[in-house]
Amino acid sequence: MRGLGEQLTETLRQATGHDRLVLLCSFQKEESVILDELAAVAGGLDGIRVVTIDTGVLFAETLATWKRFEDHFGVRIEVQDAASPSEPWTGPEHCCTPLKVAGLERALGDADAWVTGVRREQAATRADAELVEVDPRRGIAKYNPLAFWTEKDIWNRILERGLPYHPLHDQGYASIGCACCTQPGDGREGRWAGTDKTECGLHVV
């Protein structure tokens, strides 16, 4: 089996063969690794759309990490607005409304491929993720270049290369979403804590 680093490089090289590629970024540790390798594979990030979906209730630390990512990787991150001023997101009952999925649809509206930080280890709902898939909802290619990486693999790469990462990871947050409903926890157990919810809808067919 190919080494994880080789898998990452080859998967991203295949992804960059698409003319209209989008990287979905939520400023997790996974996106730091992907952005670093993607810049190396593509000789920079010009022409690659890096998109985040802003719910309007992100942690202050997420906003700071956003700026660090832009500065470190030399990329301007495109924003899709998913804020809900008429029905504020104050907890899981208002979280990940159709506004968030609509933001993704806008981001991928003219894309022919997208890249995600999905890993098999993150949750049972992601255990069958492949390096390259076809997004059945949109009929475009979906790349999960870190599908087989473990938490340890991610941190080894970040530390080896001195990559920026979200400071809440150091406080026990393995996965970071909105401030109103994210708590510390392994995998995705801190997301929508106290509920059965494990996905926001972006990676659900």
What φ, ψ does residue 114 adopt, rounded to 5°? -140, 155
- Measured CA distances, 78 to 10, 22, 23, 112 (Å): 25, 10, 10, 17
Token pair belonging to 182: 């994210």
Q: Is 147 exposed, middle or buried (0-12, 13-18, 19+ CB in 10 A)?
A: buried
95 is catalytic: no
Q: Which of 25, 96, 178, 200 is catalytic?
A: 200
- Distance, CA of 169 to chain centre: 14
Q: Which residues are catalytic?
A: 200
